[in-house]
Amino acid sequence: MWKWFHQLASPPHFYRISLLIAPWLGVSGLILVAYGAWQGLFVVPMDYQQGDAFRIIYVHVPSAYLSMMAYMIMATSGAIGLIWRIKLSHAVAAAAAPIGAGFTFLALCTGSIWGRPMWGTWWEWGDPRMMSELILLFLYFGYMALRSSIDDTTKADKASAVLALVGIVNVVIVHFSVEWWSSLHQGQTVFKKGTMDADMRIPLFIMLIGFTLLFGSMLLRRIRTEVLYRERRTRWVREMILSPKGGT
Amino acid sequence: MNQTSLSEGPREIPGIFFGLGATTKRDLLLAWKRPGDVLNPLFFFAMVCTLFPLAVGPSAEQLEFSGPGVLWVAALLATLLSLNSLFISDFEDGSLDQLLVSPQPLPMLVLGKTLAHWLTSGLPLVLVSPILAITYRMPLSVVGVMMLTLGLGTISLSLLGSIGAALTVGLHRGTALLSLLILPLAMPIMILGANAVSLAATNDIYSTGIWALGAYAIASLSLAPYATAAALRISNE
């Protein structure tokens, strides 16, 4: 088990293994997302209250979940990189940030599109979840800005890992403070999620799994590029590029 | 690490509070010699508070309503402005390297610097804020609450900001980047502070915000120096 783990942490080994895994994740994710979207958009009955508008949930919930998941991955792999000095895990953190920011943006957009017919406004400043998600987006921006403004990769890795860790402690506080704040403001946006019908829930689960698999495939591809770039001066990359099979 | 150097070292090394006191004293002395660095954020604070009535209109109820928020946003921005210089001059003249190689624990030295920063930026803000609060027609009973929240809040802001300042210390685009890093993290402090003042102004129970700010200040007092020390070591490798 540990041997396998240590092997995985070595860039050339990871580069070979990930090539085998990424397409499978991508294809199975695509199939699940296509099936879930078809179910969610055409098969599932209309909501008695929200009509067809609720169907955006099948994109909104998975992206909101992945926006937080990506931050967790970014911060934990940054911490692993800081503590055990595993280079690969810094590459994981670097690769996860833009994807996470993308999903955060997607969650905000779909939430805003959903909010228009439901709450009558594109943006509700009083909603705690919208605020937390927006702050999360800013955290991603800060993280990527810090990374891009330090030229030395090792230094950028460590500095941004510290920032991500400070951020993760703060995300909890942000969440609670925003919640406290909005309970003062008496927003009209109190909509509690009741129990969902199984017909509606199963496609959502399929979408969640599909999105996660797609995310995994995207992440692996980005890590591969990141690893290749970081190891551009090493021998294994040169040998791989110059080998008759070329850089696959 | 310090334990071994204590037992093996040729002479006795002073306790950990010595380093804290020495850095605080040194930074206070530096601030005393260059009063402009202390005064500029204060002028900035006053000017931001002046901008708001000019932009949104000077009607009495509007000022009363927006006063706590405006003062807090202005205090947050003024603190950010002053944070930039926390490590910069030490970085430029090499005394930061001396701090890093010193046998004293770095978190304590950092805490000393942050303490000095609060004494020269946060505390003056707290002391000046009543004048501006009164121009915003804030009742005197609320002014006390506001000073308390600003006091607790700026402690946390200085500590949190020191992490950002340490991360961006040698960078060319440091100033803008520092704001980008710290603002999202500082939002809870502002939310808690400004809302506690607003609640006090409408005779509501405001103690939740005060307790939460106090908890935040204590938590950052005990955790932030370690993060700042780690960040300083990383950016000075």
Please indicate whether, in this complex, the C-beta atoms of A165 and B227 are within 8 angstroms of each other. yes
Rounded distance between C-alpha atoms, residue A242 and residue A234, angstroms: 13
- DSSP conformation class of A190: -
Rounded distance between C-alpha atoms, residue A66 and residue A61, angstroms: 9
Picking from B185, B192, B234, the nearest residue to A162 by CB comes out as B234
Please indicate whether, in this complex, the C-beta atoms of B235 and A146 are within 8 angstroms of each other. no
The residue that leads in pLDDT, A55 or A29, is A29
**Residue range B214-219: average pLDDT?**
93
Q: Specify which residues A47 forms β-bridges with.
A: A51
Instruction: Indicate if the pLDDT at residue B235 is higher than 90.
Output: no
Neighbours of A199 (CB within 10 A): 11
If you measure CA to CA, which chain B residue comes closest to A145?
B177
CA distances from A117 to A74, A121, A228, B75 (A): 34, 7, 46, 38
If you measure CA to CA, which chain B residue comes closest to A141?
B180
For residue A220, the distance in angstroms to the closest alpha carbon of chain B comes to: 27
pLDDT of residue B1: 45
Q: Where are the domains of chain B?
A: 16-235
Per-residue pLDDT band for B10 (boundaries 50, 70, 90) equals low
**Which residues of B lie closer than 8 Å to A, measured between beta carbons?**
160, 163, 167-168, 171-173, 177, 180-181, 183-185, 187-188, 191-192, 195, 199, 208, 212, 216, 223, 227, 230-231, 234-235, 237
What would the 3-class secondary structure string for A89-151 be?
Answer: HHHHHHHHHHHHHHHHHHHHHHHHHHHHHHHCCCCCCCCHHHHHHHHHHHHHHHHHHHHHHCC
Instruction: Indicate if the pLDDT at residue B227 is higher than 50.
Output: yes
pLDDT of residue A196: 64
pLDDT of residue B218: 95
For residue B186, the distance in angstroms to the closest alpha carbon of chain A comes to: 9
Per-residue pLDDT band for A1 (boundaries 50, 70, 90) equals low
Please indicate whether, in this complex, the C-beta atoms of B181 and A165 are within 8 angstroms of each other. no
What's the angle, vertex CA B167, arms to CA A168 and CA B217, rounded to 5?
Answer: 55
ipTM, two decimals, is 0.83
**Residue A47: φ, ψ to 5°:** -75, 140
CA distances from A188 to A57, A111, A128, B137 (A): 20, 16, 12, 30
Per-residue pLDDT band for A192 (boundaries 50, 70, 90) equals very low
Between chain A and chain B, the number of residue pairs with CB atoms below 8 A apart is: 77
Start-end of H helices in chain B? 2-8, 16-33, 35-56, 60-83, 85-93, 95-101, 106-117, 123-135, 140-167, 174-201, 207-235
Per-residue pLDDT band for B61 (boundaries 50, 70, 90) equals confident
**Residue range B26-44: average pLDDT?**
89
Please indicate whether, in this complex, the C-beta atoms of A177 and B188 are within 8 angstroms of each other. yes
Disruptive mutation site among A132, A155, A170, A182 for chain B (greatest number of B CBs within 10 Å): A170
Q: Specify which residues A51 forms β-bridges with.
A: A47
pLDDT of residue A6: 72
Could you report the per-residue pLDDT of A94-122, keeping only the tens digit for each?
999 999 999 999 999 998 888 888 777 88
Per-residue pLDDT band for A217 (boundaries 50, 70, 90) equals very high
CB proximity list for A24: less than 8 A, separation 6 or greater: none
Per-residue pLDDT band for A189 (boundaries 50, 70, 90) equals very low
3-class DSSP state for residue A186?
Answer: coil
Please indicate whether, in this complex, the C-beta atoms of A139 and B216 are within 8 angstroms of each other. no
For residue A138, the distance in angstroms to the closest alpha carbon of chain B comes to: 6
The residue that leads in pLDDT, A189 or A80, is A80
Rounded distance between C-alpha atoms, residue B40 and residue A243, angstroms: 62
Quick check: pTM over 0.95? no
The residue that leads in pLDDT, A35 or A183, is A35
For residue A197, the distance in angstroms to the closest alpha carbon of chain B comes to: 37
Rounded distance between C-alpha atoms, residue A206 and residue A210, angstroms: 6
Please indicate whether, in this complex, the C-beta atoms of B227 and A146 are within 8 angstroms of each other. no
pLDDT of residue A187: 45
Rounded distance between C-alpha atoms, residue B94 and residue B155, angstroms: 27
pLDDT of residue A132: 83
Q: Which two tokens stand for residue B214?
A: 């106090």
Could you report the per-residue pLDDT of B76-103, keeping only the tens digit for each?
999 998 898 889 888 888 888 988 988 8
If you measure CA to CA, which chain B residue comes closest to A142?
B181
Instruction: Indicate if the pLDDT at residue B229 is higher than 90.
Output: yes
Picking from A155, A165, A169, the nearest residue to B235 by CB comes out as A155
Neighbours of B106 (CB within 10 A): 19
Per-residue pLDDT band for A190 (boundaries 50, 70, 90) equals very low
If you measure CA to CA, which chain A residue comes closest to B163?
A163
